[in-house]
Amino acid sequence: MPKITYIESNGKEHVVDAPVGQTVMEAAVKHAVPGIDADCGGACACATCHVYVDPEWLSKTGEQNSMEQSMLDFANDVEDNSRLSCQIKVSAELDGLVVRLPKSQH
Amino acid sequence: MSTGEIRRVIIIGAGQAGGETAQRLRQGGFEGEITLIGEEPAAPYQRPPLSKAYLKGDLDIDRLMLRPASMYAEERIALLTKTRAVWIDRANRKVRVEGGRELPYDALVLATGAKPRKLPLVGADLEGVYLFRTAADVDRVREKFVSGAKLIVIGAGYIGLEVAAVARQLGLNVTVIETAVRPLARVTSPEVAGFFLDEHTRQGVRFVLGGQPALIKGSDRVAGVALTDGSELPADLVIAGIGVTPDIAIAEQCGLTVNNGIVTDRQCRTSDPNIFAIGDCAARPMVHYNGQIVRLESVHNAVEGAKIVAATLTGGKEHTEEAPWFWSDQYDLKLQIAGLFHGYDRVVFRGVMADRAFAAFYYKGDKLIAVDAVNRPAEYLGAKMLIQTGRTLPPNLLEDMSRPMKELVASAR
């Protein structure tokens, strides 16, 4: 199973086994990684699963879709590598993915 | 009540509100006992996908779970499934569950949710007539959801229309019967309701508006629905989506103040300071709406209640309330709602319905109170932010599509 590393804003790392086909958000929530709220459960309705994708993984995680882009427009501390983790599907290719979490989702 | 005294928390109701409360208590550093009591066989799961992706077969039950079932033991949360709380002894702070066992508490959280209204009709108990609330309800329906089957949906609220959308996508023949003259009558404006009516009609859903079902026909299983005007519609299955009633039986039994839901203060505290109520079963003053006491049925409200109670019980930072939000997925349309539209006196549109991407902004006087955004996430989030911070925008500015929503929000006062 692909492994994903989530790094909290205080530097604490969480390495999680993420089933292929689920999303990067789901894997975090199911393992209670603090810093990803995902109140809407992945319906792209709440913008509380914001992550920064480690630059070297950007080509593999793909681009923001247009709905996601609009949502991120209103999130805090958005960077070029910002994504909503509910919109990134886990694949074998993402084994080793590193994402960083913002200070706050609200 | 100081937090030092609270060693045992019992949560009645293992839906999203109850499940989130247990998790957030632990995340907030609560070290005492947590007992989470639920009637369903499963650990807490998300209900919104039941009438959407789960019904369609795109998600399995594991993906609905709030947390893996194993996590409750790891977090020392005693999860009692298939267990019904039947009695609260407030004087001695005990909850009795079916079978007679009594559990003591220092703080009690009622997250009992709501029950779907049954059709008040002869034949409502026939095989093939379904309510929609639990995963088990949907599992029973799913095997009958096959192309060509004749489905009648009674009730054109969000659940009814979401079910109709999934059914059309799976090739069922769908008729929606609604007693009001338009769909979504309780939850949105005539304009937005008209948009969804047109969309569903275009997708092949037939509507009987202003229709009064008289009885469900059938001998051993459902055969159709008879209306009060004498007409009859054939059906292989009937799904009722005619709203829910808050589950307040146990609150009434123990004498808590109840008025269309268990009444609480802003901290979700009921008329008994040791008992909190959150989620669909509770009514609480809305900070963004002049303290008006409202009972909301939404994920936002479930999570909000959990955050408020967890912050109170752990002595953590007081939770800053979000403006109410809600969503509905139908076909490729994502409807996102922020705020509460009741009492609006003006609606302003940004974008046009024909593009299937527009937002309806609701005003009361010059105050923006709600938005319905269809495939318009920026308008949704922008309006939500404005409502949350008590700001507004002149309606004519919103109609100006040449200015991006973000820029407008930044200029708002």
Q: Which CATH class is domain B118-242?
A: alpha beta
Read off the pLDDT of each residue in B226-246 and give the average, rounded to a whole number: 97
Same fold, B118-242 and B332-411: no
Residue of A nearest to B59 (CA): A22
User: Which residues on chain B are in Cβ contact (under 8 Å) with A34?
Assistant: 27
ipTM of the complex: 0.90
Segment 42-61 of chain A within 8 Å of chain B by CB: 43-47
Burial of B255 (0-12, 13-18, 19+ CB in 10 A): exposed
Q: What is the dihedral of CA B15, B32, B320, B18, to 10 degrees?
A: 10
The tokens describing B93, both together, are 């702070």
Which residue, B212, B228, B216, is CA-closest to B177? Answer: B212
Dihedral angle sign, alpha carbons of residues B268, B269, B270, B275? positive
Residue A32: the pLDDT is 84
pLDDT at B3 over 70: no
Coil, helix or strand for A70? helix
Residue A38: the pLDDT is 87
* Distance to chain A for B192, nearest Cα, Å: 19
The tokens describing B114, both together, are 């709501």
Q: Does domain B3-115+245-314 have CATH number 1.10.240.10?
A: no
In tens, the pLDDT along B51-62 reads: 999 999 999 999
A34 in contact with B at a CB cutoff of 8 Å?
yes
Read off the pLDDT of each residue in B176-184 and give the average, rounded to a whole number: 97
Which residue, B244, B39, B236, is CA-closest to B135? Answer: B39
**Backbone phi and psi for residue A77, each to the nearest 5 degrees, phi listed first:** 50, 50
Domain edges within chain B? 3-115+245-314, 118-242, 332-411
CATH of domain B332-411: 3.30.390.30
Q: In which band, very low, low, confident or very high, does the pLDDT at B2 lie, cut at 50, 70 and 90?
A: very low
CA distances from A78 to A52, A69, A71, A101, B9 (A): 8, 10, 11, 11, 38
Fold classification of A3-100 is Ubiquitin-like (UB roll) (3.10.20)
Q: In which band, very low, low, confident or very high, does the pLDDT at B1 lie, cut at 50, 70 and 90?
A: very low
Find out whether B116 and B133 touch, Cβ atoms under 8 Å.
yes
Contact yes or no for B377 and A34 at CB 8 A: no
Residue A34: the pLDDT is 85
In tens, the pLDDT along B30-74 reads: 999 999 999 999 999 999 999 999 999 999 999 999 998 999 999
- Report the predicted TM-score, pTM, of the whole model to 2 decimal places: 0.94
Q: Which of A1, A37, A40, A50 to mutate to test the interface with B (most CBs of B within 10 A)?
A: A40
d(CA A34, CA B141): 36
Nearest to A70 among B23, B68, B377 (CB): B377
pLDDT at B110 over 60: yes
pLDDT at A61 over 70: yes
Q: In which band, very low, low, confident or very high, does the pLDDT at B366 lie, cut at 50, 70 and 90?
A: very high
User: Which residues on chain A are in Cβ contact (under 8 Å) with B376?
Assistant: 70
Contact yes or no for A74 and B409 at CB 8 A: yes
